[in-house]
Structure 1
Amino acid sequence: MLCKTTLYRLFIAACFMVACLVLPVTKANAQDNSNIKKLIGIAEDYRTRMPAEKLYLHLDRPYYTTYDTLWFKAYLFNASTYSASKQSAKVYVELVNDSSRVVNRFAIPMHSGLGEGYLALDERVPDGTYTLRAYTQWMQNFGEDVFFSKQFYVGKPADQGSWLISEQHQLKTTADGNQINLALRLSSLSKAVIPYRDIEVRLLEGKKTAFKGNFLTNDAGTTEASFNISPKTDTRKLSLQITDKLTKNKYSIPFYPGGQMQDIDLQFMPEGGNLVAGLPSRVGFKAIGEDGLGIDIKGIVKDRSGAQVAAFSSAHNGMGSFNITPQPNEIYTAEYILNNVKHIATLPAASAAGISLKVDNLSSPDSVFADIVATKDAPIVNQRYNLMVQSAGGVYMGVSFKSLSGPNTVRLAKSGFMSGIVSFTLMNEANRPVAQRRVFIDQHDRLNLEINASQNSFLPKDSVAISLNVRDASGQPAIGSFSASITDDSYITNTPDADNIVSCLLLTSELKGHVENPAWYLAGNSAEKAAALDNLMLTQGWAGFDWAQAVLPVKEPAFKPEPNNRLTGNLRNLFNKPVKDAKLNFFTVSKKYGVLVMDTISNAKGEFAFENLPIFDTISYTLRVNNKKDKASGATINLDLFKPADVTANNIRLNPWYLNLNDSLMRGYFNRPQAPRYQGIDMSEVKGKLLKEVKIKADKPAVSIAGYSGFVTKEIFEKELIEAGKTTLFDLLSRKYRNFGIGYLYAESALSKPLMHTEPSLVMGISKVAEVVVDSTNTCIVAGICTTIDPPSDAQTAIDFVKTIGADDVKSIRIVEGLKLFIVVTTRGGHGYFTKSSHNVLAYRPVPYCLPKQFYRPKYSVSNTAINTPRPTLHWEPNLVTDKKGKATLSFFAADKPGRYTVTIEGTDMQGNFGRQTTSISIAAQAAAAGKTEAAK
């Protein structure tokens, strides 16, 4: 069966051949079909070489607390066809904190474009704002804008001493500068005030402290502070940090002084790309506040003489547009008033000559008009131009103009387009884009998801069955894969305008920057939303197909596809030449998985590949290369290792959940009773009765080896050593411990004073590393100077060893402190100081996989009368597959109290169709009717 996208493209191709889509309002010049076909060929060749991907993750709920588990389903598409991507068999998932640091990274396996996983938000994930980022290695070729990204809160449960903070402030301009009068009120999650608490308040500009003070709350839990800030302060980097001096808990809040210091970033984007003198133009604008979100604004545009030439006012989320005809050599400025302060922004300069491209998608319900006008300059007017109309699905059509001597308007029937962003690009004779405009076409052709409960009423702890019936836009049953989340409305507030599978695939995946409440644009069919969506197209560019890139000479992609779980690389000799016909062994030994051995031969370029490796959650491998005679080769193994994408700072600074909180549901969620927790134990996997925890207090492990004794104070384990690769032990230790190095000033033992010495030694601070014991071998054995009592060390031998041995040749490192400080190294080969860093052997530890896990489903019985633990997510079903009749069912147990649940189901048939639907279910002490299905979001 052909997917919907393919059918659209066949239809468009047929229409192009008979020119049924091109309906000129004013007569366009004759078409040059050969040049159009050439451009279509360039575009199709580029899509074949560089097929783009789209990725969406469905999360079980919008926010979490520490100790929760985040569940998700991943959908990976070929961007042109919305079928399963063949480029990637794994997706990398990262949890990024508000300091732009990755706190967790793992991969999930993808099968036919589908995958699932979970993220345990354990004690290593403190409260704060996090970003869940997901991408494939192949997607890195297209830039970070095409990654999936979602911000959410991780809150602190009440039993960890969580606070609610109310903050108010005023900005007063004085002779000494800008004075901030700050008032804080602290309370618990149960709204009880926090009286007589010592706190520290810091005002930070990035990492720089602008103000610090200690304060005591009064009997009402409040305190006040006053301080001055410089007018040069970057208000986009300010934050308040409040520290509870009793518990050491820290609370960080974005801080915006407001008033005369309020900072607005006002950007202007002319339609088509440029303002051209003498040609009417529409200019889109977006006003962005200090928190990175849109802010309403209005003002006027003046020329150099001060005369008003236009007025502007934002319509939605700080975005809007206005019309202007710029004059030659004129400078235009925009003026707006904010907090009684006049601000001025300069519009882009107008070109003296050029082309204007205007696309009207609003005035007609069934047609799109593209209007091209050029200045009278002969070099511009007398060129040949091509207007190309295309989307992620391919090129719709092309129109060639021999000249632009008059107005040229093309009308296109909307019925010929599939839903999504459509790009109009005007190309010159050199096939370079000179103007571009994007519009959004919505055919309202989503999958129709009908959700029904099995009965009209449910009681607490009932088994609730839900049926799903899916049909496509034509009413035919649809076979597809869907994910379902059932959340408790007592704890979770679901935002209907948040990004979902429809808004992500059609809208946000092809736009640069942050889009606020993207689902709002696609809900309903009002003129207000259509105009707002058109302004969004004007102000936030497309992140997908790029004509300027497509017409360039072919280059090898920087990031290779991963069509299966594979490992590739190359072999090089001492002269950096390829090593061909070498044999590589690839093996691992694991108690859990047994022995795995594979081998392959390098090709003429020295390249090798191990394909279709088994999928393990965590494992390490060893590679060894031999020559044709099966002897150790001198070749160096270079692996094509996964290189994570850089993390750029998120400009969206959301207020934390605990600031000025008025949402009673969210407060109840963070204040709900918590189940017992034991570090390292997943309570959902415990069968039977869990015995009481027994804490065993023990001293640091003692070590007595090679004449030295002491206690282990620091340790580096195998995983970190493997990840360090060929980094020398010296570099690894220097990087990990800042006081490690080579020095002349040191103390010989714990009983001696530091003195200057003539010979260098390894040191930790001012303590000499008395010995580096390698596989129970002393340096004195190597130097031949050993005695039976207090063996002397050869400092230079120790230095040479740690500077030459690679980290991946070592299994563990222990730093031991006693009367003397020494380092214990255990190598892989066990050959002590005679271990050599082998070029033909390499340890490899891939990014760990997160394998699917069953969502915990409690079972109730007559004898089980215990109160159920509150469950914000009552059920998560990632694999809801409809049959040939478009039907599927799922079931779950209701909680032990009356309430209202939200059921959210979304998914795709992997044939170009996708959809989302929500409904509600009521649980009462007496039977309650299931809620009516709401409109699709």
Structure 2
Amino acid sequence: MQFFPEGGNLVSGLWNTVGFKAVDANGLGKDVQGAIYDQSGQKVADLKSLKYGMGRFGFIPDASKKYVARLTSVKGAAKEYPLPAPQKKGFILSVDNKVPDKFRLKFYMLGFNTDSTGKPKALNLIAQVRGQVVYAAASPVARELFQADIPLDKLPAGIVQFTVFSETGEPLAERLAFVKRAPQVQLTLTPDKPAYKPREKVTLQVQAKDETGAPVAGNFSLAITDQKAVTPAPNAASIVSYLLMSSDLKGHVEDPSYYFNTNTPEAATALDNLMLTQGWRRFVWKDVVQDKYPQMNFAAEKGLYISGTVNKIAGLPDAYASVSLMDLNNLQTTITGQADGQGKFQFNLNGFTDSANLVVQAGKGIGSLLTLDNNLPQLQVFPQVPYEPVPAPYSNEVWAYLRRNREQLKLDQFSGKSGILLRQVEIRGQKQEERKATSSTLYSTPDHVLKGAELPRGQDVIQSLQGRVAGLQVSNGQVVMRGGGPAMFLLDGMPIDAEFIRTLTADQVETVEILKPGASSAMYGSRGGNGVVAITTKRGGSDNGSSSVTAKLPGTATYQGLYYQKHREFYMPRYDKPDASNVEMPDLRTTLYWNPSVQTDAAGKGTVTLFTADQKTTYRAILEGMSPDGKLGHLVASFQVK
């Protein structure tokens, strides 16, 4: 449970509003109730969550006292959580959004004498939305109360960040509020008939207008699914909820569209509680005002690329050397570039899909030393509360949807639409002799052996083990077997830390041998009690080739990173052209249409055509997107097949 005083801190001597959020072990909001007590056991306020574990309470704190929240449960047990310590002097910034058509801001200065250290001489209020200043006000004299009324019609939709600065530019307090409006782009989706028959052609007219009724030329996505088979969460995220709200908040926002779809006083209060908690600030401007910026450990990624360095044989950078990027599967796509003065180069991978086999070669060939950067590192990530929710078990509706999809896939394969469904095939061959453990190991036969050639490209060795061995899981960058602790790692027979193993690529690995907890790993004592992962690297005399480190051809390097996936077009049958296979085979599609780029013209109009399936049902259409100037639109419509 966390507490978020409005404006940043608890300050003694005045009414303070405090937001709170309680989460369960999965990081999801948990409803709680209880009370606030001081150190003498005196109750000062009640608390009860309103929605998704969030709520608020208010009281007048005393700097000489400590406060705790005591929660009550159904079992009668109470659990205590300490509140932040109140300050003798400080600032409070409150926002009243219950005043019609305006935000009323009140900024209080408490505990300062005339010559108190830290007391500002003047005040400046700045309101900004997505980095753009939309309102400013100033007070030449810093009084104990500074109030400003801000008309809502002067503010765009979304999260508004209010910050009060001193005359020197130091931020004193900050508060977020939300301006809620109807979508700026009004969308309509009109079918050409009131209802349709199975396999009948559907023509949908798309119309986009702005708030004034003027046409909007925009780009939208459209998904049409069976309303009975595909059941999205009623308040799932949309482009409107994400761009206007969730993207500016910390952590996971539960049911984000609830705050847009529900127009009740409870929903308005719940939205402000969200701003108080996951939008809580205790200013981050201080270093920015003093031109102190955080160190950038990793540059912003603008796409996939290959980078590296060309050196001379003597080891010095080969300045302005010629470098070529070749696809061995299509030499016509060869790209030639030039290194900079430090011998560094970079190629973008735009246009290369996962079927490419890329090689970088220096212009001088074996007269140069070429090294590729690890430009796409696999970083270890430790999530913080609130976590992303743990996936729930599949519902009966989801299982039914998956079964129908499998049936449709078999029918498509049988009719030749999606691959070829083969009859029974008998394959004969000689079983490959299973590799025995090397002589330098303490064990004789491992429980499972994976060859380096079986591991996927573009992943570190540890991540590539996920899902390949029964009972083995990869969690937080560690290997766990049978629910135990982290496994022991061996590299060529020597114990080694997991951090070093993560630097290896699949091309450097000959085999990965798994010793599961128990008798197999007992010879390694307590260190092997949770299982052992033994990795053998490639040597010069291995059967599968030599190590890329020890026997790499000078001046040449093979790219082993990530690629772009080849574009795939969404399949839709056409029943206006009779086909015997289409007539004979049932059409069980649950997704009739998907297009990420439905464009409207200068008149705000667009047209979409598709064919219905065999089910007699209601189809849901979700249309959402934006105009070139960033105005958002979202629509849910439906039509019937009878």
| AA in 1 matched with 2:260 | L
1:840–1:432 CA distance, 2 compared to 1 (3 A): farther
- Is contact 1:299–1:313 with CA below 8 Å preserved after alignment? yes
- Is contact 1:580–1:605 with CA below 8 Å preserved after alignment? yes
| AA in 2 matched with 1:331 | K
Cross-structure match for 2:360? 623
Cross-structure match for 1:350? 86
1:855–1:357 CA distance, 2 compared to 1 (3 A): same
Q: TM-score with structure 2 length normalisation?
A: 0.77
Specify which of 612, 623, 630 is matched with residue 894 of structure 1.
612
| AA in 1 matched with 2:17 | R
| CA deviation after TM superposition for structure 1 residue 287, in Å | 1.8
3-state SS in 1 of match to 2:625? strand
- Is contact 2:122–2:167 with CA below 8 Å preserved after alignment? yes
Query: 1:846 and 1:577 mapped to 2: Cα distance?
Result: 26
The aligned runs of 1:351-366 (5 Å cut-off) are 351-366=87-102
3-state SS in 1 of match to 2:195? coil
1:913 partnered with 2:631: yes
1:312 partnered with 2:47: yes
1:642 partnered with 2:381: no
Cross-structure match for 2:521? none
1:682–1:648 CA distance, 2 compared to 1 (3 A): farther
Cross-structure match for 1:328? 63
1:698–1:763 CA distance, 2 compared to 1 (3 A): closer
| CA deviation after TM superposition for structure 1 residue 694, in Å | 1.8
| CA deviation after TM superposition for structure 1 residue 457, in Å | 2.1
The aligned runs of 1:187-198 (5 Å cut-off) are none
Query: 2:189 and 2:68 mapped to 1: Cα distance?
Result: 54
3-state SS in 1 of match to 2:584? coil
1:444 partnered with 2:182: yes
| Residue deviations 1:258-300 (CA, integer Å, cap 9, x gap) | xxxxxxxx22110011101113211001122233222222222
3-state SS in 1 of match to 2:199? coil
Specify which of 316, 321, 328 is matched with residue 582 of structure 1.
321
Tell which deviates more after alignment, 593-602 or 435-444.
593-602
Cross-structure match for 2:529? none
Cross-structure match for 1:697? 428
- Is contact 1:584–1:599 with CA below 8 Å preserved after alignment? yes
Specify which of 141, 144, 149 is matched with residue 411 of structure 1.
149
Query: 2:15 and 2:404 mapped to 1: Cα distance?
Result: 60
Query: 2:122 and 2:311 mapped to 1: Cα distance?
Result: 51
Cross-structure match for 1:558? 297
Query: 1:677 and 1:460 mapped to 2: Cα distance?
Result: 19
Cross-structure match for 1:872? 590
Query: 1:654 and 1:665 mapped to 2: Cα distance?
Result: 19
| Residue deviations 1:605-642 (CA, integer Å, cap 9, x gap) | 3332335753323323222335xxx4644545343612
3-state SS in 2 of match to 1:288? coil
| CA deviation after TM superposition for structure 1 residue 430, in Å | 5.8
| CA deviation after TM superposition for structure 1 residue 802, in Å | 4.8
Query: 2:610 and 2:257 mapped to 1: Cα distance?
Result: 28
1:471 partnered with 2:209: yes
Query: 2:170 and 2:413 mapped to 1: Cα distance?
Result: 58
| CA deviation after TM superposition for structure 1 residue 720, in Å | 5.4
1:585–1:555 CA distance, 2 compared to 1 (3 A): farther
| CA deviation after TM superposition for structure 1 residue 542, in Å | 6.7
The aligned runs of 1:581-730 (5 Å cut-off) are 581-590=320-329, 593-611=330-348, 613-626=350-363, 630=364, 632-639=366-373, 641-644=375-378, 646-649=380-383, 651-654=387-390, 656-658=392-394, 665-672=397-404, 674-675=406-407, 686=417, 690-700=421-431, 715-717=451-453
- Is contact 2:216–2:627 with CA below 8 Å preserved after alignment? yes
Cross-structure match for 1:848? 563
Higher relative contact order (CA 8 A, sep 6+): 2
1:461 partnered with 2:176: no
| CA deviation after TM superposition for structure 1 residue 595, in Å | 3.5
The aligned runs of 1:796-875 (5 Å cut-off) are 802=538, 823-826=542-545, 836-838=551-553, 840-860=555-575, 861=578, 863=580, 864-875=582-593
| CA deviation after TM superposition for structure 1 residue 901, in Å | 1.1
| AA in 2 matched with 1:392 | R
3-state SS in 2 of match to 1:503? helix
The aligned runs of 1:102-501 (5 Å cut-off) are 266-339=1-74, 340-377=76-113, 378-401=116-139, 404-428=142-166, 431-501=169-239
| Residue deviations 1:453-504 (CA, integer Å, cap 9, x gap) | 1111211221222211111122111111111111112312233311111001
1:538 partnered with 2:276: yes
| Residue deviations 1:742-793 (CA, integer Å, cap 9, x gap) | 59xxxxxxxxxxxxxxxxxx9999xxxxxxxxxxxxxxxxxxxxxxxxxxxx
1:355–1:702 CA distance, 2 compared to 1 (3 A): closer
Q: Show structure 1 runs of 5+ residues with no match.
A: 1-265, 704-712, 726-734, 744-761, 766-799, 806-821, 925-937
Cross-structure match for 1:47? none
| CA deviation after TM superposition for structure 1 residue 682, in Å | 7.2
| AA in 2 matched with 1:354 | G
3-state SS in 1 of match to 2:212? coil
- Is contact 2:378–2:460 with CA below 8 Å preserved after alignment? no
3-state SS in 2 of match to 1:842? strand
| AA in 1 matched with 2:288 | A
| CA deviation after TM superposition for structure 1 residue 536, in Å | 0.5
1:296–1:676 CA distance, 2 compared to 1 (3 A): closer
| CA deviation after TM superposition for structure 1 residue 560, in Å | 3.1
Query: 1:655 and 1:586 mapped to 2: Cα distance?
Result: 42
Aligned residues: 557
| CA deviation after TM superposition for structure 1 residue 409, in Å | 1.0
- Is contact 2:175–2:280 with CA below 8 Å preserved after alignment? no
1:297–1:720 CA distance, 2 compared to 1 (3 A): closer
Q: TM-score with structure 1 length normalisation?
A: 0.54
Query: 1:439 and 1:646 mapped to 2: Cα distance?
Result: 34
| Residue deviations 1:378-412 (CA, integer Å, cap 9, x gap) | 11324554433212141234444555332111222
1:544–1:644 CA distance, 2 compared to 1 (3 A): farther
3-state SS in 2 of match to 1:387? strand
| AA in 2 matched with 1:350 | P
The aligned runs of 1:44-63 (5 Å cut-off) are none
| CA deviation after TM superposition for structure 1 residue 899, in Å | 1.1
Query: 1:764 and 1:290 mapped to 2: Cα distance?
Result: 34
1:456–1:533 CA distance, 2 compared to 1 (3 A): same
Query: 1:447 and 1:763 mapped to 2: Cα distance?
Result: 57
3-state SS in 2 of match to 1:372? strand
| AA in 2 matched with 1:269 | F
1:673–1:535 CA distance, 2 compared to 1 (3 A): closer
| CA deviation after TM superposition for structure 1 residue 336, in Å | 2.4
| CA deviation after TM superposition for structure 1 residue 541, in Å | 2.5
| CA deviation after TM superposition for structure 1 residue 647, in Å | 3.9
| CA deviation after TM superposition for structure 1 residue 519, in Å | 0.5
| AA in 2 matched with 1:374 | L
1:523 partnered with 2:241: no
| AA in 2 matched with 1:668 | A
**Root-mean-square deviation (Å):** 3.8
| CA deviation after TM superposition for structure 1 residue 691, in Å | 4.7
